Amino acid sequence: MDFSRAINRMVDEQIVSRGIKDLRVIEVMREISRHLFVEEALRSQAYNDYPLPIGHGQTISQPYMVALMTEGLELRGHERVLEIGTGSGYQTAILAKLAEKIYSIERISDLASTARKILDELNCFNVEIKIFDGTYGWKEKSPFDAIMVTAGAPEIPQPLVDQLAVGGRMVIPVGEAGLQDLFQVVRNKEGLIKKNLGGCRFVKLIGKYGWEDKD
């Protein structure tokens, strides 16, 4: 099946028309095939305007949300990026094409290994994945020029703030379990500047500095 028309329609109708302006983000959203990151039975829905299940109660994010979050990191190509929540690896692949090195943490090992396989097939060899509680960050590899959190946090985990370089950007959904606001957080010498990018709905960030694991 040829998905190229569906990809271009998704980018034009869901991403460009909603105000995403970063040309590098727009280009890479055309380049990376979202259908590769979902199971066979869901492939015909891969370019629709919503998240899709990836197993273990988790989701691949809505394409627009991926574009908005990526744009919020203001990547130019030289950055070292920390991603919390590898999930399907779709967002990771986008980041891998836009920055120098990606450190991605996922707490569910099954998801991490499926993502690793697809990322290797796409030659995303600048991605290192660790199975761990990402709310601790990845101290040995810090500081990071950019941090992306792809699950909803009750508040911004302090270790992530500590591991963000001065001048660095973090994008993180913060709020209640079922409804959050997406924040771009910029760290400068004086502290943090927070900008609300709008409402969103993410699965829970579970861990020491996130939500408690109740299952």
- Pairing verdict, β 164-175 and 58-60: unpaired
- The residue (of 14 and 59) whose beta carbon lies closer to ligand SAM is 59
Q: How far is the CB of 173 from ligand SAM (least distance, A)?
A: 9
Catalytic residue among 33, 61, 104, 142: 61
Indicate the residue whose CB is closest to ligand SAM.
85
Look up 61 and say whether it is catalytic. yes
- The residue (of 84 and 185) whose beta carbon lies closer to ligand SAM is 84
- The residue (of 3 and 191) whose beta carbon lies closer to ligand SAM is 3
Q: How many CB atoms lie within 10 A of CB 16?
A: 14
C-alpha Rg value of the chain to the nearest Å = 16
d(CA 62, CA 47): 9
Query: Can you give the binding site for ligand SAM, defined by CB under 6 A?
Result: 58-61, 84-85, 87-88, 90-91, 105-108, 111, 133-135, 150-151, 202-203, 205-207, 210
Q: How far is the CB of 35 from ligand SAM (least distance, A)?
A: 13
Sign of the four-CA dihedral 129, 135, 141, 142: positive
Q: Which of 126, 93, 90, 87 shows the shortest CA–CA distance to 106?
A: 87
Annotated catalytic residues are 61
